[in-house]
Amino acid sequence: MYPFILLASFGVLGAFLPNLGRAEGGSCPPGFYPIGGQGASGCAPIPGGAAGSGDQIPLPPRPTGEWISTWGAIATSLATSEVGMVSDMRSAELAASEAMRRCAGGGARDCKVTVSYSNQCVAWLVPSADLPGAQSAVGRAPKKRIAIAEAQRKCVDPSGKKCTVFYADCSEPVFRKF
């Protein structure tokens, strides 16, 4: 009878041994914890843990600021050859107004805005001499050197020399943090 009791004890103990590991969370994968009881058990993800993150859509990054556009303008007078140039203004209207003011500051009364630009560079090239067929040119591009090269391709200098840079500047956007 003694061997039978011993065998029965091992049988009962063996029936509960698999559940002992579960009670301590041993059968749950990393990032999960055991749940349930009285025969019904399972694993649930740890809140805020790495478990299940593959199933969740990540939140987009929060912006830390905003880009503010800046403007530039060139105003010219045909009667007096006066010019007014400005960059890094907060609006097209402010840039045009300031360019006109600077042009008129030299005494011109017929100033007109001939170039307006935003968030880019501009270059104005002129021929080396005022000969028949000479033509100045304006180039626009993201970089000043590219704007100069673009204007150089369009500028006509009948003397055979390269056109010279009369004006080159950039009005680049400004980042403002929140």
Domains of the chain, by residue range, sit at: 66-119, 120-170
Pull the structure tokens for residue 47. 């809140």
Q: Is 7 helix (H, G, I), strand (E, B) or coil?
A: helix
pLDDT at 65: 96
Q: Is the pLDDT of residue 178 over 90?
A: yes
Tell me: the pLDDT tens digits for 88-124?
999 999 999 999 999 999 899 999 999 999 999 999 9
What pTM did the predictor assign?
0.66
Pull the structure tokens for residue 65. 């600021």
> pLDDT class for 33, splitting at 50, 70, 90?
confident
- Compute the distance between CA of residue 36 and CA of residue 27 in angstroms, rounded to an integer: 13
pLDDT at 54: 56
> pLDDT class for 53, splitting at 50, 70, 90?
low
- Compute the distance between CA of residue 148 and CA of residue 166 in angstroms, rounded to an integer: 10
Q: What is the DSSP letter of 5?
A: H
Contact 170, 145 (CB under 8 A): no
Segment among 17-31, 33-47, 153-167 with least mean pLDDT: 17-31
Q: What is the mean pLDDT of residues 159-176?
A: 96
pLDDT at 58: 82
Q: How far apart are the first and last CA of the chain?
A: 83
Q: Which candidate, 121, 126, 123, 76, places its Cα nearest to that of 102?
A: 76
Q: Which candidate, 116, 117, 124, 113, places its Cα nearest to that of 150?
A: 124
Most confident of 6-10, 17-21, 42-46, 85-89: 85-89
pLDDT at 146: 99
Residue-level length of the chain: 178
Backbone angles phi, psi at 60, to 5 degrees: -70, 155
Indicate the pairing of strand 65-68 with strand 71-76: unpaired
Computed over every residue of the chain, the mean pLDDT equals: 86
